[in-house]
Amino acid sequence: MNKGFNLFSVIGIIGITSIISAITVGVIITNEYRGNNGTSYGELIKDENIQEFLNVYESVLSDYYEDVDKEKMIDGAINGMLNYLGDNYTTYLTPEEKKALAERLEGSYEGIGITVGGCEIIEISPNSPAEKAGLMVGDIITKVDDLDLTVCDNEGLSDAIKNSGKEKVNISVRRGEEFLGYEIPLSNIIIPAVSGKMMDNTKIGYIAIEIFSNNVGLQFKTAYEALKNLGMEKLIIDVRNNTGGYLDGAKDIASIFVAKDKLLFSLKNKDQQSDFYDTTDEAQTLPVVVLINGNSASSSEILTAALKDSYGATLIGTRSYGKGKVQQTYTLDDGSMAKYTTAYWLRPNGECIDGIGLAPDIEVIEPSLEENPENIDFTLNKAIEQLQ
């Protein structure tokens, strides 16, 4: 009897083993690779709606009369899926839009510290590399490294500076009739989210919050401590025209004032409600007034409601915007982003302000510029009067 296997048997066994291994690995990968909510791709592919989508996708790629950009078609499909939900805050952001939003919310960027309008420098950050090098407001940028600029847009010019790939960038400018050149090092530029000052001849401090960026809590804390050192006994917090940002920023600032274990806000999704309390030992007792208007939204309203309900702050101005929803983001491989609503937020008294807003305790309606040519801030003046 001939023991063992002949050559063809061995080849056959190897082939069958390879096929079984490939199928097994495929099944393991399909079932083990899971999305953000724990659903495996194996479970997802059983959804008849997903199967129908894939059938249409395959059919278009196969039979459409022109070549198809698969990446753009999928982006369009994602955008359409989000638009279907009919929620103003659920949206699709292109890679460029996502980059601009992330930079603004991050609170810092790599650059030289200038703001431009076209090719003209319209603002220079204090103590920035641009200021130290000698650039001036009004300078017209004509060249960045080897890139000549005859016509430029803000985004293109900013990208040329930030993406130079070097530690220093060469900037050529026209100043009047003069042409000047500068070699300026790139640096991490903090985007101011907070500004503070003492009101003249009072012990009232004033802090304006422009945006709830990633570092707004630290910036607010720094401004607050500086004003306390100047003798502040009462405080005005201004969130007028602040459309929001990171929820954690509102939480961090509210925690400076609110006593430990007091409710700051709640989040309510389709399954449950989660309550968020102050966990810090820090608390204040000084009187606080918050200035709001119709453009105060999202994190501005979360902070305002926490200070109103759990601290006793007075609200002055006009009714806030009324954004009572919070969003989650998902970044795609191409750098674009899906932003979608995941929950309502509730103020400490249990109310949802979505579509309603926060009503001021004292309403002040600012007159138009024609009626107020001196641009007097009546809302701020009312806050000072109230605190005095």
The span from the CA of 29 to the CA of 116, in Å, is: 49
Return the active site residues: 298, 309, 323
The span from the CA of 321 to the CA of 353, in Å, is: 9
Q: Between vectors from CA 35 to CA 44 and to CA 77, what angle results, nearest 5°?
A: 70
Bridge partners of residue 322, in order along the sequence: none
The span from the CA of 192 to the CA of 135, in Å, is: 20
Sign of torsion over alpha carbons 338, 344, 345, 347? positive
Radius of gyration of the chain (CA): 28
The DSSP secondary structure of 220-263, one letter per residue, reads HHHHHHHHHHTT--EEEEE-TT---B-HHHHHHHHHHHSPTT-E
Residue 210 makes CB contacts below 8 A (sequence gap 6+) with 192, 193, 194, 195, 242
| CB burial readout 48-77, b (16+ within 10 A) else e | eeeeeeeeeeeeeeeeeeeeeeeeeeebee
The span from the CA of 41 to the CA of 211, in Å, is: 38
The span from the CA of 383 to the CA of 314, in Å, is: 9
Residue 47 makes CB contacts below 8 A (sequence gap 6+) with none
